[in-house]
Amino acid sequence: MKVLQIDQHYQFGGGTEHYILAMSAELEKAGHEVSIVYSKKGERTLDTSGRKAIHVPYMEDYYPDVNRNMLKSLEEAIRQEKPDIIHIHNIRNADAVKRCASLAATVRHVQDPSFTCFTHWKLLSDCVLCTDPLGIRCIRRGCVTLGRGLVSLCRKHAEIQAHKKVARMLVSSRYVKWMLEQLSIAGEKIDVIHPFTGLPEIRPGAFPDENIVLFVGKMHSIKGAELLLRALPRVTAEYKAIFAGEGEYLDSYKSLARELGIENNVEFTGWIPLERLSEYYAKCSVLVVPSIWVETFGLIGIDAMSYEKPVVAFNVGGIPDWLADNETGFLVKRMDIAGMAEKISLLLKDKSLADKMGKAGRLKVEREFTAGIFINNLLDIYGKTLSGK
């Protein structure tokens, strides 16, 4: 089978792009051919496999002046590659989606809430989670300006209608499926397919003696690093906190650590290559996922669990699909920094509990989140797509 993956980014990006590369590698291991069509070039190269990649600019959104040329380039790429399956990721241009669906069996993988929200994050101005479907309330609440609102609503409507033409919609969690169903996309054409992670070899021995609290993610407000920083002074055990990631808020978070008087307990590493993150998962005591937006899944959670580490996270989005409360870690009420500090303190003080939860997390990964399970599920979805079921 030949699969054509289509996304905004290829040479750089975040979790979605790493996920696409891992998925492509596993498909190739299973004997399938994969090529990539991407929209935006970048400086940092993630892929060294030599996999064929075709640059088609301006697919990611609607740009009237270049839309016709973009569609021509996209069609040429598809006809050149002759895929059995087109697997679309973060592309919102309605015409591009329809063109793909007209040329080959197509699935659309919804990786973030931008498909269902003008602000991209399903967050209102006061950081309250929005649970309403896309509609006139978006204008009333100021998520899109009145002048542009009707035009934007029309474009979003066109985007949604275009996606109804693809054979199947793939989502990473039950929460995202619910969001799509709010848009009147039939539940029977939506498949929940959880991401996967590796199974690293675990060295036998005691749980790490040093208390290391780990955060992995972009330094952006939606990822909640600020809330973790504000929770740390309430932690009642000795600790070192490592913040692995880069982003526009990095300098302000460093300043906040100084203001809180915890700068000697906190290390900001900047960007860490994927292959080096294993060192941090191996030595940490607990991973914290303080996201305040609707995380569509939260891949870093199962990454840490594969290293037998417990996780403390806010109960948002797709996180409950992988984090079993009081079993593999703790789910904390969103924005509750006191509750987060309490659970972090408990795990740092009670090494036997942390070890027990970490081992339970590893078992959960082995049973639900391996590459083999994922590929079997994905190929089953591809099969249904090709057969028209």
339 and 269 inside one domain? yes
Question: Are 20 and 105 contained in the same domain?
Answer: yes
DSSP code string of 335-346: T-HHHHHHHHHH
Over residues 140-148, the mean pLDDT reads 72
**Residue 306: inside a domain, yes or no?**
yes
Based on the domain organization, do 250 and 170 belong to the same domain?
A: no
Report pLDDT for 133: 86
Between CA 121 and CA 239 the distance in angstroms is: 32
- Whether the pLDDT of residue 149 is over 70: the answer is no
* Residues 174, 229 within the same domain: no
User: Does 336 share its domain with 376?
Assistant: no
| Residues 60/77, Cβ–Cβ less than 8 Å | no
CATH for 288: 3.40.50.2000
**pLDDT tens digits along 290-338:** 999 999 999 999 999 999 999 999 999 999 999 999 999 999 999 999 9
Domain that holds residue 381: 2-196+370-387
**3-class state of residue 105 by DSSP:** strand
Helix 274-283 vs helix 299-306: angle between axes, to the nearest 10 degrees?
60
125 pLDDT more than 80: no
Residue 207 lies in a domain: no
Report residue 311 as tokens.
Answer: 């996780």
pLDDT value at position 154? 81
Instruction: Round the CA-based radius of gyration of the chain to a whole number and report it.
Output: 21
Long-range interactions of 151-154: CB distance < 8 A, separation 24+ = 152/118
Q: What is the pLDDT of residues 21-39, one digit of tens each?
A: 899 999 999 999 999 999 9
Cα–Cα distances (Å) from 328 to 119, 175, 325, 360, 384, in that order, read 32, 20, 6, 6, 34
Please count the structural domains in the chain: 2
Separation CA 105–CA 178 (nearest Å): 24
Q: Are residues 221 and 189 in the same domain?
A: no
Beta bridge partners of 268: 243
Q: Do 149 and 276 belong to one domain?
A: no
Q: Indicate whether 30 and 68 sit together in one domain.
A: yes
Q: How many Å apart are CA 85 and CA 166, to the nearest integer?
A: 11
Q: Report if residue 363 sits inside a domain.
A: yes
Q: Reply yes or no on whether the pLDDT at 130 is more than 80.
A: yes
Query: pLDDT-derived band of residue 134, with 50, 70 and 90 as boundaries?
Result: confident
User: Could you tell me the two tokens for 115?
Assistant: 């498909």
Pick from 100, 94, 342, 88: which is nearest to 233 by CA? 342
Structural tokens at position 63: 């740009």
On whether both 146 and 221 belong to a single domain, the answer is no
Residue 201 counted as domain residue: no
Compute the distance between CA of residue 170 and CA of residue 244 in angstroms, rounded to an integer: 29
CA 224 to chain centre: 15
Residues 281 and 133 occupy one common structural domain: no
Question: Residue 46 and residue 72: Cα distance in Å, rounded?
Answer: 27
For the chain, how many residues are written? 389
Q: Are residues 364 and 378 in the same domain?
A: no
Beta bridge pairs of residue 168:
107
Average pLDDT of the residues in 234-251: 96
Inside any domain, residue 216: yes
Domain identity same for 10 and 157: yes
Residue 206 lies in a domain: no
pLDDT score at 352: 95
In this predicted structure, what is the pLDDT of residue 17? Answer: 79
Q: Specify if 108 maps to a domain.
A: yes
Residues β-bridged to residue 119: none
Tell me what pLDDT residue 373 has: 97
Kindly state whether residue 268 falls inside one of the protein's structural domains: yes
Element (H, E) at 252: helix 250-259
Which of 312, 20, 320 lies closest to 174, judged by CA? 320
